[in-house]
Structure 1
Amino acid sequence: MSIRFVHETRPQRVRFGSGEAATALAEEVALLGAARVMVITTASAKAAADRITEGLPVALLHDDVAMHVPVEVADRARQAAAGHGADALVSIGGGSATGLAKAVALTSGLPVVAVPTTYAGSEATDMWGLTEDARKTTGTDPRVLPRAIVYDAELTTSLPVPLSVASGVNALAHCVDSMWAPRTDPVDQALAVEGIRALRTGLPMVVADPGGREGREHTLYAAYLAAVAFASAGAGLHHKICHVLGGMFGLPHAQTHAVVLPHVLEFNGPAAPAVYRRITDALGGSLPILLDSLEAPKALRELGFDESDLPSAVEAILPAVPPGNPRPVTAEDMTALLHAAWEGR
């Protein structure tokens, strides 16, 4: 069988080095020629932000950040950037901080340098998301792709183990979705498989030694690979489900991915046996066994999702099912999948 595909690599500079965030960030800001930097960070990452931005030409530090980027939060950040004459954006934190920086870049065109403190992966994609009236809208735009990423595993050591696991499983979800998403190709799948292997190695090390560098580095490296694959392959069924659950019901992003992922994998797997085999080989066995060993969250009901909301969730998910999913998705299928995820079976 001949190999034929089209793959696009997104232009982005990546710097990876533990303990080097301050130096690397200063060099990236200098390369941009920025003189009035807007730093977007979360309350939990503010101490790290203060430390690694010392000496930078910071015009303002903005910590009005919210999960799933509500449009009113995005509007306030855009106004703050304009009001302070910002000429560059630096995001320091997890996916919410990166997402807000992207929302500002989407309308202003300002360049972004991302400094992740979790394994969300948003920093490596040109995808943006905004939530309004309990509906999350996503899209892609080259303006939101950060010009550079500064990866420093030491910035993730303060992330508690349960959040580290949930965030790492979010990266795992990027890998799995990339194996059968609408635009997947052999390059995406190679990146995704390597990402799965690195997560299988890194996440148990993070659980066993939360302050250790090696496990954090493996997991952060995997998160980057996962995001690059996902940006190219596009969102599969898993992410469409999680976007609805997050946008409509305000469920926590990473934890929702951790709960839903095994159910989507077992739903799609039998219809794509070759891909399923590559995923399970890279995992070294069963995904539920790995998740159990990590004590990952298991049930949507534990995240605040009410069983009575299942019908409205199914109704919202079905139109978003991506083309080319390995098997058709009926309302009955989605109801069964979500109910199993709600119960934590």
Structure 2
Amino acid sequence: MSMQYDMTLRTRTVPRFEVDADDPTIAGRWYYRRCQALLSRDFGSPTISTVQCQLLSVIYLCCASFQNMAHSTLATAVRTANMLGLHMEPPSDMSKAERELRKRIWWSSYTIESKKCMKLGRPFSTSLSSVFCELPVDNHEVASTAGSDFAPLDENVTWLTYNLQHTKMFLAARKTYTALFDRCLEIHQGKKGCVIYEVPVALKRCANSFSTGILTLQTWAQEVPEILKTERQGDGVAFSTDLSPLAVEQFAPLWLQRQRLLLELLYHNLSMNLHRIFITYPTTPQLADSSGQSHATSAAEHAVSLTNIMHQIMTQTDILAGWHEAFQWQ
């Protein structure tokens, strides 16, 4: 991953005829293969480090656009986490730092799987009904023992708050996603296999149900701590689609600026993907007048907002320079 990051920052100095000389998608591939060979030795007796390496492998493969390989590796990571009991509440005889680490690793695997499955339209392998692990905490005591010495942001927010809010966002998005497709399946079965795009009444029912479900994600956005929101110029509102320019705080720590941006960019990306199911090409007046058109418009608005933010940040700052997930949204 570090090699991928480095390749995006380097100036091309090699001849164009050298195949893949500066291709960041396959940078470090030999190290990746070596990593997998070493990890295979741990399958019989995995450790916390095994799961961490597997999750990092998933991120590497995603950035390299090997989506099927990433999904397969992710399945292994989730199963390994289950073997270690990370989906259970950690034993009380463990140190607090170790308990919180186990929680963060489990919920990281949960959010990565949620993101991947929603992105590819594939079934989830984890279910909250079989998860008994509470969300990690983000207080100052835990933050001070978690391996980084970032200064606290305010009384109730630390550098770990981003991780907690990131997890809550995916819980909200996945709840909305699951409810939407459960409703579509219910209508599909009730109408004897109809396609909702061909039946105005069915599409309207899905749209009305979605209008209620998406409130969960919108409520999350409203409850994000103010310090994790990038301010807007004028009367603009963070996490909105009003297209107001960002007012980047110049003297804020780089890690904080990056957390703010990634949180909002991911929110727009998830919102766009959830709304886009209602993007249709109506063939009848009834379909054209469907209430689903408002959701299709929302998908476009979130896409434009994401594009505007990315353009401003990439042209005016170096906050997202390098190999972050955001590069896929350019």
Q: Same fold (TM over 0.5)?
A: no
* Shorter-chain TM-score tier: 0.3 to 0.5
Task: Identify the structure with bigger relative contact order (alpha carbons < 8 Å, sequence gap 6+).
Answer: 1
Kindly indicate which of the two structures has a greater share of residues assigned to strand. 1
Bigger CA radius of gyration: 2
